[in-house]
Structure 1
Amino acid sequence: MRGTELSELSTFLAVARHRSFRKAATERGVAASAVSHTIRSLEERIGVRLIQRTTRSVTLTDAGERYLADLTPAFEQLARAQDGLNAFRATPFGTVRINVPTSIAPFAFRDVLGQLIEGNPGLKLDIVATDRLIDIVEEGFNAGIRFGEVLSRDMVAVRIRPVQRLIVVGSPSYFRSRLPPQHPRDLRQHIGIRYRYPSGAMFDWRFEQDGEVIVVQVEGPITLDDQDLMIEAALQGCGLAYVWEDRARPHLEAGTLHRCLQDWCQIKDDLFLYYPSRRHVSGALRVLIDRLKV
Structure 2
Amino acid sequence: MIRASLIELEAVVAIASLKSFRAAARQLEMSPSALSHAISALEQRLGVRLFHRTTRSVSLSAAGEHFVRRVQPALREVSSTLDEMHELRDTPSGTLRINTSKGAAQVAVLPMILEMRRRHPDVRVELVTEERFVDIVAEGFDAGVRLAEAIPQDMVAIPCGADISMAVVGAPSYFASRPKPTKPKDLLDHECIRRRMASSMVYRWELEKRGREVAVDVRGALTLDNDDLVLQAALAGAGLAFLSDLAVAADVEAGRLVRVLADWTPPFPGLCLFHPSHRLVRAALRAFITIVRESTARERRPSKAGNSKKA
1:83 to 75, 80, 87: 87
Structure 2: gaps spanning 5 or more residues: 1-9, 18-58, 60-69, 297-311
Local SS of the residue matching 2:229: helix
Following the alignment from structure 2 to structure 1, what is the Cα–Cα distance between the partners of residues 103 and 117? 23
What is the aligned partner in structure 2 of residue 156 from structure 1? 156
C-alpha distance 255-195 of structure 1, shift in aligned 2 (>3 A): same
Structure of larger gyration radius? 2
Matches within 5 A, 1:140-219: 140-149=140-149, 151-219=151-219
CA offset digits 1:14-38 (Å, max 9, x no partner): xxxxxxxxxxxxxxxxxxxxxxxxx
Contact kept in structure 1, 2:93 and 2:123, CA below 8 Å: yes
Amino acid at match of 2:125: L
C-alpha distance 78-225 of structure 1, shift in aligned 2 (>3 A): farther
C-alpha distance 67-268 of structure 1, shift in aligned 2 (>3 A): farther
What is the aligned partner in structure 2 of residue 118 from structure 1? 118
Structure 1 position 79, deviation (Å): 2.6
What is the aligned partner in structure 1 of residue 301 from structure 2? none
C-alpha distance 257-152 of structure 1, shift in aligned 2 (>3 A): closer
Amino acid at match of 2:158: V
Structure 1 position 154, deviation (Å): 3.0
Structure 1 position 147, deviation (Å): 0.9
Amino acid at match of 1:77: T
What is the aligned partner in structure 2 of residue 275 from structure 1? 275
CA offset digits 1:96-153 (Å, max 9, x no partner): 1011122222222254233221111111111111111111111111111121225434
Following the alignment from structure 2 to structure 1, what is the Cα–Cα distance between the partners of residues 155 and 172? 46
Local SS of the residue matching 1:164: coil
Matches within 5 A, 1:1-294: 73-74=77-78, 76-84=80-88, 86-87=89-90, 91-109=91-109, 111-149=111-149, 151-293=151-293, 294=296
Following the alignment from structure 2 to structure 1, what is the Cα–Cα distance between the partners of residues 154 and 195? 31
Following the alignment from structure 2 to structure 1, what is the Cα–Cα distance between the partners of residues 245 and 72? 46
Following the alignment from structure 1 to structure 2, what is the Cα–Cα distance between the partners of residues 113 and 127? 9
Structure 1 position 67, deviation (Å): 12
C-alpha distance 249-270 of structure 1, shift in aligned 2 (>3 A): closer
Q: How many residues align?
A: 230
C-alpha distance 250-71 of structure 1, shift in aligned 2 (>3 A): farther
Between 1:102-111 and 1:168-177, the stretch displaced more is: 102-111
Structure 1: gaps spanning 5 or more residues: 9-46, 48-65
Identity, % of aligned pairs? 36
RMSD: 2.7
Contact kept in structure 1, 2:145 and 2:271, CA below 8 Å: yes
Following the alignment from structure 2 to structure 1, what is the Cα–Cα distance between the partners of residues 169 and 76? 49
Contact kept in structure 1, 2:161 and 2:270, CA below 8 Å: yes
Amino acid at match of 2:192: G
